[in-house]
Structure 1
């Protein structure tokens, strides 16, 4: 049974899973609040009505949460926004591994770097620069890991918004930030890493059965995504619980 400090204010119909940690003076202010497993609520945070805090998420002290929080996310501020994600594994470190592109500046191009999250990989693409400008190129399928069946571009994303937040049963994706910056979180159910995409000559390969989230978009960001399959509604795993259940089913 989850222990609740006596100085917390908790709505009677709040759904609270096992392993939730309450700091002092936490307020669950309204109906329809759901706290998933192993959520951490720090001191004096306020959770608004109809908000779901995803499993393993951390709400920092004084945060005012007015919209649902993804699994394993770290939120702070008023109104609260995602500022990072927790690492996987038993240690629950406050940040997943962040991939620093500068660590691979010595590698020839094209190169592929294993990210340690399933079969996810960072691709360093060729870049050609002369007096007329710069060009980056990748050949399919020798330098891009699959032949795309479709593409889409994500742009004009408000800074507070998250994109992705799903996995695919079969579809593979390849992400390139053509302009601006965004962060890509990759999660295989055990390990997580983040990559900051901030140049058009690098891409992230996200295979099937990887939970993907993109956030911290700059106002000018344009994210190009190649997909290995046409749109199939039943290919999406749209909740983290469904994703974990599918992983368990596959063994």
Structure 2
């Protein structure tokens, strides 16, 4: 199994502070996979931790379209990284082999680009199962 690592992606940021900004993705570049599903989360209470899973196949890019999202990723070797997403032109690539959790500011809107359509069988929701499946 190829072990990928999470990393930040910068989308184009066009404009300036006097008129505002626009970020564009044409043909969904620089997303490193074909996008087959797009969804967004919002109005998540700050006390809630979402995610708590990994995937067998699905790759994702997470973007804080508004507000702040703290994403914690853990690899099967125990490496933990914390990403603070708060710029709408920055995305976080999350490979299938990364256990991940998200916490949100109340006003946060998270935009997610996914490489696969929704399939419950693709989710690894038990932490020990994640460690077994993705161990080196």
- Is 1:166 the counterpart of 2:48? The answer is no
CA distance in 2, matches of 1:155, 1:239: 25
RMSD between superposed Cα atoms in Å: 1.6
Match of 2:40 in 1: 153
Equivalent residue for 2:62?
175
Partner of 1:119: 5
- Is the 8 Å Cα contact of residues 149 and 228 (structure 1) preserved in structure 2? yes
Instruction: Judge conservation of contact 1:140–1:147 (CA < 8 Å) in 2.
Output: no
Q: Tell me the equivalent position of 1:202.
A: 90
Give per-residue Cα distances to partners, 1:207-232, cap 9 Å, x unaligned: 111101101x1110000011100011
User: CA separation in 1, counterparts of 2:68 and 2:45?
Assistant: 13
Contact 1:118 1:188 in 2 (8 A): no
Q: Specify the SS of the correspondent of 1:123.
A: strand
Q: Per the alignment, in what secondary structure is the counterpart of residue 134 of structure 2?
A: helix
Q: CA offset at residue 142 of structure 1?
A: 3.9
CA change 1:230–1:161 in 2 (3 A) is same
Kept in 2, the 8 Å contact 1:140–1:146? The answer is: no
Give the Cα–Cα distance (whole angstroms) in 2 for the partners of residues 227 and 193 of structure 1.
Answer: 21
- Do the aligned residues in 1 keep the contact of 2:10 with 2:91 (CA within 8 Å)? yes
Q: 1:138, CA displacement in angstroms?
A: 2.5
Q: Distance in 2 between matches of 1:159 and 1:133?
A: 28
Q: How many pairs were matched up?
A: 132
Aligned partner of residue 154 in structure 1, secondary structure? strand
Counterparts of residues 16-165 of structure 1 (less than 5 Å): 118-130=4-16, 131-140=18-27, 142-165=29-52
Contact 1:166 1:240 in 2 (8 A): yes
Instruction: Mark the runs of 5 or more structure 1 residues left unpaired by the alignment.
Output: 1-116
Q: Hey, what's the Cα distance between the residues in 1 that align with 2:4 and 2:99?
A: 10
CA distance in 2, matches of 1:203, 1:139: 15
- Give the C-alpha shift of residue 180 in structure 1: 0.5
Larger radius of gyration: 1
Q: Give TM-score scaled by structure 1 length.
A: 0.50
Q: How far has the Cα of 1:141 moved from its partner?
A: 5.1
Give the conservation status (yes or no) of the 8 Å contact 2:70–2:102. Answer: yes
Provide the secondary structure at the position in 2 that maps to 1:234. helix
Question: Unaligned stretches of 5+ in structure 2?
Answer: none
Deviations 1:55-114 (CA, angstroms, capped at 9, x unpaired): xxxxxxxxxxxxxxxxxxxxxxxxxxxxxxxxxxxxxxxxxxxxxxxxxxxxxxxxxxxx
1:214 and 2:87 equivalent? Answer: no
